[in-house]
Structures are given as structure tokens and as C-alpha cells.
Amino acid sequence: MDSKLTMPSSTSAALLPGMPLDSAAALPESDILVPASAAESPPAARSRWYFPVRAKFTVALLLGIAWGVMAHVLAEPWIADFSRIVGTVPAYLAIYGIAVIPGFINAFLIVSLLMDRRPEVRPHIAPQQLPAITILVAAYNEEQSILATLESIDRQHYPGAFCVIVINDGSTDGTLAKLQSVSYPWLQVLHLEKNGGKANALNAALKLVDTPLTLTVDGDSYLFKDALLHLVQRYVSDPPNTRAVAGAVLVRNSRSNLVTKVQEWDYFHGIAAIKRLQSMYQGTLVAQGAFSAYDTGVLKAMGGWPHTVGEDIVVTWGILRQGWRVGFAENACLFTNAPDTWRQFIRQRQRWSRGLIEAFKLHWPMLFQWRMSLLFIWWNLLFPYLDLVYTVFFIPGLVLALFGIYWIAGPMTLLVLPAAMLLNYVIFHIQTRMFAEQNLHVRSNPVGFVVYALLYSIILQPACVWGYLSEVFSRNKNWGTK
């Protein structure tokens, strides 16, 4: 799960036309991928032009604030005009949520990503130095995909010891029969008679884990080549206080229909960029259950995954709250099936939004723990407000603008577009460079881009608002949709 910690949609509404992804791996049952022909370095290895992370953070923050101040000054006439219609306070809340705060966020992201230099990994670690790992795969009604997931694990070249525990969480289809039809030497199957939810399934398997690292992989995913090695190398190369590392999750079924084509852009751009940024500042906020590595001892000391809708974000915030660091391995690629109907997509994003509220409810003291990632905690606290403003003000404003009434959506709103375009160009450049390093290449997806740029936020942000309300008023906790 990746919550709305990813990127506020109002900041990603303008993308460059082009193409998310293709890969060089053979992915059974998938048609999206086509073959293509310790911390930051120790002082001795650093360039004399090395720029410390805290200095980068300060520069990005100051320039972001400067952009926000400029946006405020330019928006004053707009706010004054709108105040005469809705009142002063609603006008400020609306315009700040539509233009000023997204402008600050865009500027901070652009400057940070331009200064980002990925920490070096230790590529020549001897096999005996790599920790043993246990991979947990929680499976509920994954008859169509579970064998392909296991095949992708079998194709990995992880030189250390590893085993896989698949938890059949009371599936009502042929998942168990599929699992019983294979006999990988590293495979264990834990069968739960009754479906108890993802957290319950993972915790049942965690009791059996005796390796230093525990990895989670979704039952409908496919690991790209050397994904396990890249994920663990990042873990052992990051600062010693690292206790979890998130992998890079990309869309596997992006050619299925328009819904998946649009999400391809979100995973390729928004989610990956935010994780990269957060890890740069020492605190990735979501080690998603689809593909992440965790310190087994820390997980067990915390009691495993909480029984929440967003168990992965809540457990990640629990790790961060204890003062540990969470990293991101941008080259550890896993391809997962995204929701292929708008109904499923909306349910997924509602669940992610509920997970964000759960994290705040359980780990609110993080709002007062001083560290660079504190900015992202407060940033996420603004998401319900930003989504609500977009839903209540901006979407109706677009409708009014069609009739020549520019109270909300008008010429001033165009000022956020240059920053959004620049941001997405920077992200696209970074991601395509990473793809080239992995022997992946970007494929054409112009239709997905157009819908993503013009309509994605109109669907996404009202869904998120509903998710926030659901968490406030509902006690139901279940698997929902991915």
C-alpha cells in the first residue's frame, strides 16, 4: 500500500507526454513488458564538492518557501475578489489549497530531486555477508497469479540463504491447489482455514521467521531480475540505523485498459519520486507491503503488523517513531497488478487514505519528533485539507469556468502549471535513467498521459476525501482491494 503520502494530485496534474515502461524480463501472464536490446559515501570517497544532505534540505526548504511567498503575493488580488463572494476565511483556505501550498510543494520537490545523488551500494559483498532472508507472501484468492509470483522468485539470483512462506489466508478459489502443485525447495505453505485479513496472515507467518530480514511480496506480483539482491544490498549499504527498505513498485498490467494505463503514470512518476525524496531526507514514510524488507527483530518487538486497513503505513510509522530510518531501493523493481476498474481503483485509494488517518491516530507523537522527515509528516497532515479543497472548490470551479465564470479556476490557476511541468520533466528524466541502468525502456502511453494529466485528480481526490470520512465513521477493517 502507498498512501496519499505519495504526491498530492494537485501537484502532479501536468505531466510530460510520453511513455511509462517496458522491461527486459520475461513476465508470464503479462503483456506490459517488452524486452529492451552504508549511507552516503564515506568521507574518503566523497567528491570535494560533496553537498551534505542537511544543506540540501535547507536550500530546498528556503526556495520552496520563497516560491510560496511569491505565489501568495500574486494570489492576493484573486483572494480579494473571491472573498467578496465566499468570505475572507473560505477564500484564503481555497486559494492556498489550490495554488499556494501546491506551489511550495512543487518547488521543494524540484530543487530536492535536482540535488539528489543516490547513496552508493556495496556491490561486491561476499555471499556469506548477505543476511539470510524470509519472504512472506500473503495470498487471498490469488489462483490466477500466485504461481507466476513464485516463478519470479525462483528466477532471482540472491546469493544468500532465503526461504518463502506463502500464507493462504482462507482463499475460496483454487489458490491452495495451485500451491500444492509445486515443490520448490525453499517454499513453505501456511494454510489458514479462515480469512483473517492481511495483517493476521503476515503475523501468523512472522512467528515462523528466524532470519535477520523479513521481506513481503504481494501474491499477484512479479519480481524483476535481481530485485531481491538490489533490495538487500540497499539495506546493508544504508546507514546503520536503517530498519526497513521499500522496493520500487510498478504497474504490471498497464496494457489491460485505460484504468491501468493511467495508473502506470502514477506509479512511474508520483510514487517513485516521493519515495526517492523521502529516503534522501532519511525517512521513507511507507515501506509498502507489496515489496519491502524489514528488520525481523524490530517487527517482532512491535508485535508485527497492526490489524488496520493500512497495515504497511502504520507499521512503517511505528518503525520511524522509534527513531529508526527507512530507505528506498529505486532499482529493486517489482511489477504488480493495479486495479483494472474505476470502482476497484477508488476503493484502493480510499483504503490508502484510511491508512493515512490510522497512522496519524496511532503515531501522532511523530508530529513533534525533530528530524528532516518531520516536514513530510506535517505535509501529509495537509492532505485531507488539500483533497477537500480540491473537491469542494476546484472541481466546481472548473464547471463554472466552462460557463465563463472564473471565480476559482481561471488565469491565475495556470501559474502552477510551469512548476508542475518542470517537476514532471525532472522525474521523467530520473526514472528513465534508472530504467536504462536496469535494461528497461520506456514505452509509449500517450492516452494514459492525457487522462492522467486532465482527469486523474478529479477522480482521485474525491475518493480520498471519502476514504478519510470512512476511517472516521467506520470500524470495518478488511483486505479491501490492493
Answer whether residue 469 shows pLDDT above 80: no
Assign 99 a pLDDT band (cuts: 50, 70, 90). confident
209 Cβ partners below 8 Å, 6+ apart? 134, 136, 165, 296
Q: How far is CA 330 from the centre of its chain?
A: 11
Query: In this predicted structure, what is the pLDDT of residue 482?
Result: 46
- For residues 328, 330, 336 and 341, what is the CA-based torsion angle, rounded to 10 degrees? 90
Ranking 123-127, 180-184, 243-247, 348-352 by mean pLDDT, the lowest is 123-127
Spatial distance between the Cα atoms of 304 and 315, rounded to a whole number of angstroms: 8
Answer whether residue 35 shows pLDDT above 50: no
Spatial distance between the Cα atoms of 475 and 481, rounded to a whole number of angstroms: 17
Answer whether residue 206 shows pLDDT above 90: yes
Average pLDDT over residues 180-203: 93
Spatial distance between the Cα atoms of 326 and 319, rounded to a whole number of angstroms: 8
Average pLDDT over residues 369-373: 83
What is the Cβ-side half-sphere exposure of residue 404, based on CA atoms within 13 angstroms? 0
Average pLDDT over residues 325-343: 90
Query: In this predicted structure, what is the pLDDT of residue 162?
Result: 92
The set of cell numbers assigned to 144 is: 490466477
Spatial distance between the Cα atoms of 345 and 339, rounded to a whole number of angstroms: 5
Q: Which domain holds residue 179?
A: 1-482
Angle (nearest 5°) at CA 379 between 305 and 341 = 65
| CATH at 314 | 3.90.550.10
Amino acid at 171: S
Average pLDDT over residues 164-188: 94
Place of cell 530531486: 113
- Percent of the chain whose pLDDT exceeds 70: 82
Ranking 206-215, 241-250, 372-381, 407-416 by mean pLDDT, the lowest is 407-416
Spatial distance between the Cα atoms of 173 and 144, rounded to a whole number of angstroms: 10
First-to-last CA distance in the chain?
A: 7
Answer whether residue 31 shows pLDDT above 50: no
Q: Across all residues in the chain, what is the average pLDDT?
A: 81
Ranking 87-91, 150-154, 438-442 by mean pLDDT, the lowest is 438-442
Query: In this predicted structure, what is the pLDDT of residue 122?
Result: 67
Average pLDDT over residues 252-264: 87
The set of cell numbers assigned to 207 is: 512467528
Residue count of the chain: 482
199 Cβ partners below 8 Å, 6+ apart? 304, 305, 306, 307, 308, 311
Instruction: Look at residue 310 and give its three-state secondary structure.
Output: coil
Answer whether residue 19 shows pLDDT above 60: no
Structurally, how many domains does the chain consist of?
Answer: 1
What does DSSP assign to residue 120?
P
What is the Cβ-side half-sphere exposure of residue 327, based on CA atoms within 13 angstroms? 29
Residue 84 vs residues 77, 80, 397, 402: alpha-carbon distances, Å: 11, 7, 16, 21
Answer whether residue 466 shows pLDDT above 90: no
Assign 33 a pLDDT band (cuts: 50, 70, 90). very low
Q: Which of 99-113, 126-140, 174-188 holds the top average pLDDT?
A: 174-188
Answer whether residue 77 shows pLDDT above 50: yes
382-440 tens-digit pLDDT:
888 888 888 888 888 777 777 777 777 665 566 666 767 777 777 777 777 777 777 77
Q: Are 19 and 443 in contact (CB under 8 A)?
A: yes
110 Cβ partners below 8 Å, 6+ apart? 419, 422, 423, 426
